[in-house]
Chain A
Amino acid sequence: MAEAMKMRATMEGNVADVKVLIQHPMDTGTMKDSKTDKLIPAFFINQVVATLNGKTVLEAQWGVGIAKNPFLGFRVNGAKSGDKVAVNAVDNLGNKYDGEVVVA
């Protein structure tokens, strides 16, 4: 099964630069399926939490306006190589998407 989340984390001076990509349609609920002419229901990641070595560093609420296969970049001060960054996301149907990376 292809992974749902890819992550990269590299040190830039004292700051860990973290990049996350999640595979998700982020359907807005306002588009029609061209074949059935029916509305495609809203289906989107609405919450994301990022932790560094288990401590929360970022909490996000998302709406349908985030682009498909969402990208998120954030930076954590005071991190160091070897630290573990985890991202846990949930969509509006309760599906979970988890990823983890060691800071390079």
Chain B
Amino acid sequence: MKRILTFIMAVLLLGCAQKGPTGSNSGPEADRDALINHYKQIFPDIKFEDYIYGALSMNPDAKGQYDDIMEFPPYSMDLDKGQKMWETPFKNGKQFSSCFPNGGKNVAGNYPKFDNAQNRVVTFENAINDCLKANGENELEYGDKEIGLLTAYAKSLSDGMKVNIKVEGAAALAAYEKGKEYYATRNGQLNFSCKSCHVQSAGKFIRSDQLSMMIGQASHWPEFRSGTDIVTLQGRFKQCEKNVRAKPKAANSEEYNNLEYYLTYMSNGLPMQTPVFRK
């Protein structure tokens, strides 16, 4: 009886939190709390800190392979390329490190952030390209391999930093809510939303893939999938949209930037690690 009551409460809480943007009276933190409770119900034996491992936290056999591979990952030399990009001075003699506080260490956990002056979400990749532009260099293409390799290294300078996304002010909240709505909107021929799989069906299987929980997803991007293919978070959004037979948006589109803002907020408090291996 107690279990049924707890379940009903969790569903109600989740229901409240997932109301449409205009009807919502819960802020981002309440949304996050509701989701944490939701996942605690589904995964009573998985610690919050282990949500960063996603489906790997649900399967020791899979986690064992991850641990073996991460001991000396196949992408080690590719990461060196990213390091070289980060450290190579611009034509004007400056480096990427000059564009970020602390030389770029422990900053990635603050992205995406909402820029009130520009009235838009600013992702870490945006910050990289702003840096290039400010120093007279050509910008990198979003979602591309080059920016993936560069940010794989650049974000590794924030390893261990807790994700720390802020939603402050009406404009920021509006962007957050847009991301949240996109997350919950069904899409594609298969008519799934991100929420269908990663909230409602977390832990369940799609063929042989176990669905990861949403919390903890955004803390470890970009990734080297199959060990050697660099994929950015928005690159992954595209792949997931294609998987439900929807037409993906472009990397750095307003929809994906707002989605990344919302999604990353949900990983607040979890330590970053970039890059990582995934299958």
For the complex formed, measure the closest distance between the CB of B224 and the CB atoms of chain A, giving whole angstroms: 10
Docked Cα-Cα span, A100 to B228, in Å, equals 24
Q: Tell me if A21 and B72 are in contact (CB < 8 A).
A: yes
**Which positions in A face B, CB cutoff 8 Å?**
2-4, 6, 8, 19, 21, 23, 67-69, 71
For the complex, is B227 an interface residue (Cβ under 8 Å from A)? yes
Q: Tell me if B74 and A68 are in contact (CB < 8 A).
A: yes
Contact of A19 among B72, B75, B80, B81 (CB under 8 A): B72
Residues of A within 8 A of B80 (CB): 2-3
For the complex formed, measure the closest distance between the CB of B121 and the CB atoms of chain A, giving whole angstroms: 33
User: 1/0 per residue B49-86: CB within 8 Å of A?
Assistant: 00000000000000000000001101111001100100
Residues of A within 8 A of B76 (CB): 6, 21, 69
Q: Tell me if B77 and A2 are in contact (CB < 8 A).
A: yes
- Give the interface residue-count category, chain B: 10 to 19
User: Residue on A with the closest CB to B80?
Assistant: A2
Interface residue ranges of B211-268 to A (CB < 8 Å): 227-228
User: Residue on B with the closest CB to A23?
Assistant: B77
Q: Tell me if A6 and B77 are in contact (CB < 8 A).
A: yes
For the complex formed, measure the closest distance between the CB of A25 and the CB atoms of chain B, giving whole angstroms: 9
List 4 A-B pairs, minimum CB-CB distance, nearest first.
Answer: A69-B74, A23-B77, A2-B80, A19-B72
Q: Tell me if B81 and A69 are in contact (CB < 8 A).
A: no
Q: Tell me if B84 and A69 are in contact (CB < 8 A).
A: no
For the complex formed, measure the closest distance between the CB of A30 and the CB atoms of chain B, giving whole angstroms: 17
Please give 8 more A-B residue pairs, beta carbons under 8 A apart, in addition to A4-B77, A21-B76, A69-B77: A2-B81, A2-B84, A21-B74, A67-B227, A68-B74, A68-B227, A71-B72, A71-B74
User: Residue on B with the closest CB to A8?
Assistant: B72
Residues of A within 8 A of B81 (CB): 2
For the complex formed, measure the closest distance between the CB of A12 and the CB atoms of chain B, giving whole angstroms: 14
* A-B pairs with beta carbons under 8 Å apart, 10 shown: A2-B81, A2-B84, A3-B77, A8-B72, A19-B71, A19-B72, A21-B74, A67-B227, A68-B74, A69-B77
User: Residue on A with the closest CB to B68?
Assistant: A71
Residues of B within 8 A of A19 (CB): 71-72
Residues of A within 8 A of B74 (CB): 21, 67-69, 71
Docked Cα-Cα span, A19 to B77, in Å, equals 15
Docked Cα-Cα span, A2 to B84, in Å, equals 9
Residues of B within 8 A of A69 (CB): 74-77, 227-228
Docked Cα-Cα span, A21 to B80, in Å, equals 13
User: Residue on B with the closest CB to A73?
Assistant: B72
Docked Cα-Cα span, A33 to B134, in Å, equals 38
**Are A68 and B228 CB-contacts (below 8 A) given A2-B80, A6-B77, A23-B77?**
yes
